[in-house]
Structure 1
Amino acid sequence: MPNPRRMSRRAWVLTWAVLCVAGLTVTAWLQAAASPPEARPERRIKAECREHIADLEGQLDRARRSGEEKVGIVTFLPIGVDCTDERADLLRGDR
């Protein structure tokens, strides 16, 4: 009598192929069903940095409107105020 537990090589390959296709299908379905990531909330600007950031935005707007490819902008931070994060966010385009 043949051993019922013994599977042929084809049966193993077919079983693995079916499991792989099923796994890929489920993964694709889960990624499609997942909600899109929420937009990052806008960072708050410190009160003492608002004027500095507004001035910097104005300079950037004037530079973009001028149409020149390379425009240098010089910024000075207020004394005793740390606006480094806000300025970096603005220049990176996070705002």
Structure 2
Amino acid sequence: MLCSQLQVLRFLLEFLEKADTASWEETSPEILNREVKEVKQSWKLLKAEYHEKVKDIKELLPELLQKQHRLRRGKERLECVLQQYRQQREMAEAMLTQQVLMIY
């Protein structure tokens, strides 16, 4: 019990040593109020910037979704054309093979 009380006392003494080193000018209400105002102003600027970016994203989103839809349709068309090309090539190769066999 005595040991834990000594540890608490040591902690409090260390805290008071550090507290004594702080100057009263740094902790005056005027300085603290000014710092609070600066922090609040910074927060307001960050919040406004955030809302502006959200607005920009909301404006761009429909356009991006339309582009994505057009790209998907283009991809599907290209896949269809590629499939047709492969079928035509296979048919042409088969016909060529038949012609070569007929010659021999």
| TM-score of the pair, normalised by structure 1 | 0.39
* Bigger CA radius of gyration: 2
| Bigger RCO (CA 8 Å, 6+ sep) | 1
| Higher helix proportion | 2
Q: TM-score scaled by structure 2?
A: 0.36
